[in-house]
Amino acid sequence: MTASAPLIRVAAPAKVNLTLHVTGKRDDGYHLLDSLVVFAGVFDRVTVEPADSLSLTVIGPQAIGLGAVPPQDNIVLKAAQALAAATGTTTGAKITLEKALPVAGGIGGGSADAAATLRALMALWDVTLPREALMALATGLGADVPVCLRGRPADMSGIGEQLRDAVPLPGCWLVLVNPGAQLSTPSVFRARSGAFSAAMPLETPPRDLDDLVTGLKTRRNDLTAAAISLAPEVGLCLAALTAQPGCRLSRMSGSGATCWGLFATEYDARTAARALRQQQPGWWIEPAPVLPASADPFALAAEP
Ligand code: C5P
């Protein structure tokens, strides 16, 4: 009897920007950010199995959103190729990406998938890189990949590569809402106007949810107006979330179009999600807890 081949499955949670300030611009065109990033309990999943060469199959409810992206251009394969090159790995892997998060939606999508791929393949190939080299490889794949690889609530600065643990946050729930609009990140940054913001990281741990909401209310997502100018539905999402009983605050994540509403309890979040689905059956609507900080930033993301 042959031993069954190892199969490694890593969850890629949604990345959510609770704040996003654009604080400057580099000479290469990348923007400098100040962002409080958390992860929510709704996931893509990356599965890897031994194989002679690298291949990618995309399945799941949002796979269709990747229809326009040839597999060889998928960030998952780019991550696999970059890790193989950096570690001198010559074996391959059969990679399956189960896509549940909306594509080009401002909640990590591709970046979370790339980070999960790196974690899964390091385990499959039994390879590792020094932390600095791994973070540099991640940054080369995309500005949001380092924070996804770290997988813990973070204060993010630089273009996304400077990360430190966020202050401890109270437990809470989000309702994530995407109106079906795909927004290209460069287009949203290009459409942004106005002065740069000052960085405003949360320096003191909020005492409770009220305190967190008070802190978030004085901060914002600087890309919101630009995203609404390209996809007016983003404004509808924010209004629909704000109108839900129990919604303490709503904002856009990343460069959009996904927005979040913040709720104290799972019950409030699920009730709001049900009501929103009735109003907007075509929208992607998911209630999810904000995930607590994992003990080991480089541990494989736990299955929910
Ligand atoms: O690094 P990533 O591929 O996610 O970025 C896509 C594009 O988004 C960049 O080419 C740039 O136009 C814009 N961007 C930016 N500043 C950031 C992140 C992204 O201007 N910090």
CB of 223 shorter than 6 A to ligand 1: no
Coil vs helix vs strand at 192 = coil
So what's the pLDDT on residue 302?
38
Atom 15 (ligand 1) nearest CA = 30
Spacing, Cα 77 to ligand 1 middle (Å):
19
State how far the alpha carbon of 270 is from the alpha carbons of 11, 41, 80, 262, in Å.
22, 13, 36, 12
CB of 31 shorter than 6 A to ligand 1: yes
Give residue-wise pLDDT tens across range 226-235.
999 999 999 9
What's the rounded mean pLDDT across residues 254-281? 98
So what's the pLDDT on residue 63?
83
Of 122, 135, 70, which Cα lies nearest the Cα of 93? 122
Tell me if 107 is assigned to a ligand binding site: yes
- Residues tagged active-site: 15, 144
Number of structural domains, the chain? 2
Residues 201 and 265 in one domain: yes
So what's the pLDDT on residue 251?
98
CB of 143 shorter than 6 A to ligand 1: yes
Give residue-wise pLDDT tens across range 243-265.
999 999 999 999 999 999 999 99
Question: What is the CATH number for 153?
Answer: 3.30.230.10
What's the complex ipTM? 0.95
Spacing, Cα 89 to ligand 1 middle (Å):
29
Residues 27 and 139 in one domain: yes
Identify the domain boundary among 106, 140, 165.
Answer: 165
Atom 7 (ligand 1) nearest CA = 186
For residue 159, the ligand 1 atom closest to its alpha carbon is 21
User: Is there a domain that residue 255 lies in?
Assistant: yes
Cα–Cα distance between 230 and 234 in angstroms, integer? 9
Identify the domain boundary among 101, 134, 165.
Answer: 165
Q: Would the pLDDT of 68 be above 70? A: no
CB of 150 shorter than 6 A to ligand 1: no
For residue 186, the ligand 1 atom closest to its alpha carbon is 12
Report whether 37 contacts 156 (CB < 8 A): yes
CB of 290 shorter than 6 A to ligand 1: no
120-146 burial, b if ≥16 CB within 10 A, otherwise e?
Answer: bbbebbeeebeeeebbebbbebbbbbb
DSSP states of 99-147 as a string?
Answer: --SPTTSSS-HHHHHHHHHHHHHHHHHT----HHHHHHHHHHH-TTHHH
What's the rounded mean pLDDT across residues 102-125? 93
Question: What is the CATH number for 261?
Answer: 3.30.70.890
Residues 13 and 161 in one domain: yes
Spacing, Cα 91 to ligand 1 middle (Å):
31
Residues 145 and 193 in one domain: no
Atom 20 (ligand 1) nearest CA = 30
Q: Would the pLDDT of 19 be above 60? A: yes
Spacing, Cα 169 to ligand 1 middle (Å):
27
- Torsions phi, psi for 224 (to 5 deg): -65, -50
What's the rounded mean pLDDT across residues 11-37? 97
What's the rounded mean pLDDT across residues 147-176? 96
So what's the pLDDT on residue 295?
55
Residues 246 and 227 in one domain: yes
Q: Structural domain of residue 188, as residue ranges?
A: 173-289
Tell me if 282 is assigned to a ligand binding site: no
Of all residues in the chain, the percent with pLDDT exceeding 70 is 94
User: Is there a domain that residue 299 lies in?
Assistant: no
The CA-to-CA distance between both ends of the chain, in Å, stands at 32
